[in-house]
Amino acid sequence: MIAFGCSITAPDVYARCAERGLRLVAEPDSEIIANAAAGSLFRSYNLLINTVADRDDLEALVLVHQDSEIIDPDFCKKLRDVLREPDVGVVGCVGAIDVRSIAWWEGSVTWASFIHRYTEFGGGDLPSLTWGSENLPAYARTGEVETLDGFVLALSPWAVKNIRFDEGLGSQIHGYDLDFCLQVREAGNRVMTADFKVVHHHSLQLVSDPDVWINAHIKIADKWEGRMPGIGQPNWGPAAEDWKTRARQAEAEAGATRLQRVSCELQAEARERQLQAELDEVLNSTSWKLTEPLRRANAALRSRRNGRAARSDSNGSSVGARGISTRR
């Protein structure tokens, strides 16, 4: 039995996004657990895990954000295919390697089979790296990674029994996915990506409170430095203890700034798409097509007038400082 869990802060968002997807992919014996949020996402997810931890028939627990809509009718089949390997701990649809911090996207993203659907600027979709099956980058692949994006996480029965989200980190939401994946890897199991198709209904503003994100960045780096290769290590080499805190703060602030830059780029792309759509609508409208002969006639008339004005100027006119034609 594959169970599904969701922590809810906005019931309307859950009904519009996650619930619709779960109804699509759930099997007749699947259990869907939709709980109101209990504080942080770390705490809420642990309560969901504890709900099914003693189930002997559990094949997987799929944790989804309330704004994540699974649209892949073969989701359960694909998940079972990955979980056939006994050492798989957690599976997602977005993953990266060479990860140093909760800013995992600054590593090498190897798979990302989702659409970012936004409502700003009239709404639209931003397909991710491997959404389509054509023209995939040469480095794109499913398989083992170092961490996952947590908007969809499928936990194996081993993970359900042995791993929990670290509520002691103190964050409401940021870094839970990296920390969980690091726990899985530290225990000797694998973190995997699969070609799940998901729509993430999310604002183009990626971080609402940079200070909260920075604090989570620092805490997770401090927790894992020296325990997992690369995590918590600055890009410029070893840091002296007396200025390590300042270096960590600067690295976190730089990561937050880059994330805000990406958010601005997404908003600019969305705005460009909106304006292009509006232009296409005008150019393809019946009124635009019907008035095309009139526009051509007006353009020709303006051209003839400009031609006559140019000849008049060449025969003794000058242009004043305010653009007014004056006779010599």
pLDDT tens per residue across span 105-159? 888 999 999 999 988 888 889 898 898 877 788 889 999 999 999 999 999 999 9
Three-state DSSP class for residue 115: strand
Q: pLDDT: is 106 or 92 the higher one?
A: 92
User: What pLDDT was estimated at residue 133?
Assistant: 72
**Residue range 285-324, pLDDT digits in tens:** 787 677 878 778 777 787 777 776 666 655 554 434 334 3
Among 155, 226, 165, 225, smallest CA distance to 192 is for 155
Three-state DSSP class for residue 100: coil
Q: Enumerate residues 6+ apart whose C-beta is below 8 A from 278.
A: none
> What is the average per-residue pLDDT within 160-167?
97
User: What pLDDT was estimated at residue 282?
Assistant: 66
C-alpha–C-alpha distance, residues 305 and 311, integer Å: 10
- In a domain, residue 45? The reply is yes
Q: Which of the 8 DSSP states describes residue 316?
A: T
User: What pLDDT was estimated at residue 106?
Assistant: 86
User: What pLDDT was estimated at residue 82?
Assistant: 98
Q: If you count them, how many residues does the chain have? A: 328
Q: Enumerate residues 6+ apart whose C-beta is below 8 A from 141.
A: 110, 111
Please give the mean pLDDT across all residues of the chain: 84
Please give the residue range of the domain that contains residue 189. 2-204
Among 8, 75, 5, smallest CA distance to 46 is for 5
User: What pLDDT was estimated at residue 148?
Assistant: 97
How many domains in the chain? 1
- In a domain, residue 327? The reply is no
- In a domain, residue 312? The reply is no
Among the listed ranges 175-179, 225-229, 261-265, which one has the minimum average pLDDT value? 261-265
- In a domain, residue 189? The reply is yes
- In a domain, residue 213? The reply is no
- In a domain, residue 261? The reply is no
- In a domain, residue 283? The reply is no
Say which residue the tokens 């499913």 belong to. 142
- In a domain, residue 46? The reply is yes
Three-state DSSP class for residue 149: coil
**Residue range 236-274, pLDDT digits in tens:** 444 445 546 656 656 655 655 565 555 556 556 666 666
Whether the per-residue pLDDT at 327 is higher than 50: the answer is no
CATH code assigned at 26: 3.90.550.10
Q: What is the per-residue DSSP string for 21-43?
A: HHHHH--TT-EEEEEE--SSHHH
Give the pLDDT band of residue 73 (cuts 50, 70, 90).
Answer: very high
Share of the chain above pLDDT 90, in %: 52
**Residue range 188-216, pLDDT digits in tens:** 999 999 999 999 998 887 677 888 888 88
User: What pLDDT was estimated at residue 96?
Assistant: 95
User: What pLDDT was estimated at residue 242?
Assistant: 54
